[in-house]
Structure 1
């Protein structure tokens, strides 16, 4: 049915909380005809998989989020 897709992200692609929303234009998805919008926390582990469509959002190698607190 749905095929798994991977999207490589730069740290600048993440919102201030370290995440992205799916569906996303970065994944070449039209928001109007896709599944409900879901927040994915990419910064926590460097990647997150959408529970609806299976798209994997991951940070590009060498990218870092935040500067530490």
Structure 2
């Protein structure tokens, strides 16, 4: 199980404010280690993958939505 933390920019999130894990941003070598899962990062600013434990979080100062 990984305890990696992946910092994301707002532009890294999809239009719904989330990401999928496994993600190339997490530098995972084994792409098919677990089923693809959607993580809602925008809601709380971070989300943990229930399969591998990787935490995806918005970088400090980044805000999702807000209409840039």
TM-score of the aligned structures, taking structure 2 as reference length? 0.91
Cα distance in 2 for residues equivalent to 1:54 and 1:10: 20
Structure 1 stretches of at least 4 aligned residues deviating more than 4 Å after TM superposition:
none
Aligned residues: 67
5+ residue gaps, structure 1: none
Root-mean-square deviation (Å): 1.4
* Structure 2: gaps of 5 or more residues: none
Give 1:31 shift.
Answer: 6.2
| Cα distance, 1:14 vs structure 2 | 0.1
Q: Which has the higher helix share?
A: 1
Q: What TM-score do you get using the length of structure 1 for normalisation?
A: 0.89
2:54 corresponds to: 55
> Which secondary structure does the structure 1 equivalent of 2:7 belong to?
strand
